[in-house]
Amino acid sequence: MSSNKLLLNLALRYPFRILLNILLGFSGALFNGVSTTLIVPVVMSLLGQQAILKSGPPIIQKLLSPFDGLPDHHKLFAMAGVIICVITLKSLAVYASNIASNALSRALTCDLQEEGLQLLLDVDLDFFTRAKAGDLMNRLGGEMNRATVAISTVINLIITAITILVFVGLLLSISWQLTVVTTVLLPVAPLVSQHLVAQAKRFGKLITNINQEYSGRLIEIFAGIRLVKATSNEQKEYIHLKGLIRDRERIEFRSRVASLAIQPISEIISIIVLFLLVILGRLLFANEIESLSAVLLTYLVLLFRLLPFVSQLNGLRENLARSAASVEIVEDLLRRDNKSFTVTGTTPYVHLQQKVSFENLSFAYPESSNLVLKNINLSIPKGATLALVGSSGAGKTTLVDLLPRFYEPTTGCIKIDGIDLRDFDLKSLRRAMGIVSQDTFLFNTSIRNNIAYGCPNITEAEIIDAIKRANAYEFIDRLPEGLNTMIGDRGVMLSGGQRQRIAIARALLRDPEILILDEATSALDTVSERLVQQALDELSQERTTLVIAHRLSTVQKADQIAVLDRGQVVELGTHGELLKKNGHYSRLYEMQFAESFQKENIITKDQKQLLTQASYEFRSHLNSMLGSLGLLTDRINTTSEEQNELAEEAYRSAIELFKTVKQLEDTYRMIR
């Protein structure tokens, strides 16, 4: 769809408003022309030159004919009264036209912004991976405002053109000879200003590009302000943004210089045209010198009133040229044929009865031919937990993103109880899912609003129950305003563990049937991980769970563990079964928990498993004990109850540590 088609599409949304605007403009132009034509007879009557009017142009004779039957001393007042009434009607028509134009512009702006917002909320996630947030903000804001100005400019162009036609018609009725000459001379001004209009269009595109870059960079800096300050790059970013500001102001100044030059150029050319018309008028009416003054005076008055509209027409062309870039940008944003949308099904999702299955599933990201996932076949029975492990880039997150249909499989499908996900109503399907990831997003609002997000009819008691089950009640209760505490942008005022527990409380409140855990504890300290893991265990109870974890200690209790490597499932089984296979999972396990593990031929597989398990337990208990003792020693932000809990935890870890040492000694004797 071209920019002209977009303008036509916008105009067709409010055809009656546009028609009313044009009719008001036409009325104003007509009243303007009539009042201007009547001014000359009134002035001449005041000067006692009524005789000259009798040999004046026919149009004046027709306009004066209604006053012929009036006495001379009443005729002047009647004519003056008519002029005042006509001018009043003209002013009212122009005023109403301006109001209608402003209302139309505001309505179109709202329509465009609503349509843009709806499109951005409907479009697939892939669009946002390629788009810049600042660019989108600029398009939804400034560019849409400028695009709707283009519609108002087009309407004003039509009204101005109608006004010019009305005046040209009056000029023709007075003297077609002078009008022919005027028609030849007046286009000189638009032709001279054409170069300036072309410059304005080029400057408009440059300003639009700079605005996009400036908005995008500014939003990125605000989002990454911690990194900017941590790397001492404030001055560098300031210089870059300052350069964009200066460039924008320089181009806007040059654009304004070109725009301001149009008016004086048009005025100078118009004065030259007037002098030429006076000279030609004397030549054309040499034999009618008596009527020359009336004809020429009326003609010049009308022409004087016409010339500003010609200049206005040039200015409107320049404004339209400047807004052309914005129209093209908005048109590109609102296009749907170059964006992908998730098509919702018609079957409402009710409950999971049997299983979730991945069948012969392969996936490549849009605009890429490389398969990220290859022929995946997995099944998760109702209430079971499937863990996905593997090195970074193996395709784990991509696989779980397909379950809520953030992306569509390239080949194969995902089924729930034998029904393809694409057949389900998308909103009802996603409401049945809860997602807790490593990168928890929180809004810059209160804790209460973040927890209740997506649950509009939730009660206070349900929120309290959710935060207690998520191990978040104690730290929220200690905050000055409790649940009403504002947490800052992306929850910056909370620790990582606190943010995770709020996310878990939010998921608990949604009560999802299907749970997705994506590295939910990977970036936490020991105590936070323990609290979050307890909350996750509570969240996972009696739910069908798909979990991703780099820490294998968090997935040992999973019903099944799938090992992914380069987009393929290379191993599948329980923790014990995978260790016995001595394959990918075993190597991952050894790298994390048994770096000193020696592979000797004299050691049997059972002995290897005993050593591996003992080594892992030793390290796990030692880390837990050291973490608890460290926190107990620091005594930072801990209550007496928490200190007691930490002391008990350290004691229990020490007892378990001694038991593990005994197990290691027994295993060593067995090997010898």
pTM: 0.63
Three-class SS of residue 187? coil
Count of Cβ atoms closer than 10 Å to residue 186 Cβ: 19
Q: Given this model, what pLDDT does residue 362 score?
A: 92
Cα distance between residue 520 and residue 536, in whole Å: 9
Q: For the CA atoms of 563, 568, 573, 579, what is the dihedral angle to 10 degrees?
A: -50
pLDDT digit string (tens) for 34-72?
Answer: 777 777 666 666 555 555 555 556 666 676 677 666 776
Question: Quick one: which of 15, 16, 26 has its CA closest to 97?
Answer: 26
Q: What value does the mean pLDDT take over residues 121-134?
A: 78
Amino acid at site 7: L
Q: Given this model, what pLDDT does residue 638 score?
A: 54
Sign of CA dihedral 524, 526, 529, 535: negative
378 and 358 Cβ atoms separated by less than 8 Å: yes
pLDDT digit string (tens) for 529-559?
Answer: 677 777 777 777 778 888 887 777 778 888 8
* Whether the predicted pLDDT of 229 surpasses 80: no
Residues of the chain with pLDDT > 70: what percent?
Answer: 72
Q: What is the residue whose two structure tokens read 């000029």? A: 171
Q: What value does the mean pLDDT take over residues 459-487?
A: 84
Tokens linked to 84: 């005042």
Report the run of H or E that residue 76 belongs to, with start and end.
helix 72-122
Tokens linked to 552: 């294998």
Q: Given this model, what pLDDT does residue 269 score?
A: 72
Count of Cβ atoms closer than 10 Å to residue 189 Cβ: 23
39 and 83 Cβ atoms separated by less than 8 Å: yes
280 and 249 Cβ atoms separated by less than 8 Å: no
pLDDT category of residue 602 using cuts at 50, 70 and 90: very low
Tokens linked to 153: 């400019």
pLDDT category of residue 1 using cuts at 50, 70 and 90: very low
372 and 395 Cβ atoms separated by less than 8 Å: yes
Tokens linked to 593: 């928990």
Which region among 388-402, 439-453, 593-607 has the lowest average model confidence (pLDDT)?
Answer: 593-607
Q: Given this model, what pLDDT does residue 599 score?
A: 40
For the chain, the C-alpha Rg in angstroms (whole number) is: 40
Phi, psi of 582, deg, nearest 5: 55, 45
Q: Name the region of 376 (left: φ>0; alpha: ψ -120 to 50; beta: rest).
A: beta
Question: Quick one: which of 306, 301, 295 has its CA closest to 167?
Answer: 306
Cα distance between residue 507 and residue 515, in whole Å: 9
Q: What is the CATH T-level fold of the domain 3-334, as seen in this structure?
A: ABC transporter transmembrane region fold (1.20.1560)
Q: What value does the mean pLDDT take over residues 158-168?
A: 82
* Whether the predicted pLDDT of 322 surpasses 50: yes
Mean pLDDT score across all residues of the chain: 76
DSSP 8-state secondary structure symbol assigned to residue 395: S
Residues of the chain with pLDDT > 90: what percent?
Answer: 4
Three-class SS of residue 224? coil
Question: Which residues neighbour 260 within 8 Å (Cβ) at sequence distance 6 or greater?
Answer: none
The pairing of beta strand 411-416 with beta strand 544-548:
unpaired
Q: What is the residue whose two structure tokens read 């010019």? A: 164
CA dist 413 to 337, 408, 420, Å? 25, 9, 7
Q: Given this model, what pLDDT does residue 665 score?
A: 58
Phi, psi of 78, deg, nearest 5: -65, -45
37 and 371 Cβ atoms separated by less than 8 Å: no
Question: Quick one: which of 94, 1, 79 has its CA closest to 35?
Answer: 79
pLDDT digit string (tens) for 603-641?
Answer: 455 555 655 666 656 656 566 666 666 666 655 555 666
Three-class SS of residue 446? strand
The pairing of beta strand 514-518 with beta strand 544-548:
parallel
Q: Given this model, what pLDDT does residue 306 score?
A: 78
Q: Given this model, what pLDDT does residue 610 score?
A: 59
Cα distance between residue 211 and residue 233, in whole Å: 22
Report the run of H or E that residue 286 belongs to, with start and end.
none
628 and 646 Cβ atoms separated by less than 8 Å: yes
Q: Given this model, what pLDDT does residue 294 score?
A: 63
Architecture of domain 355-578: 3-Layer(aba) Sandwich (3.40)
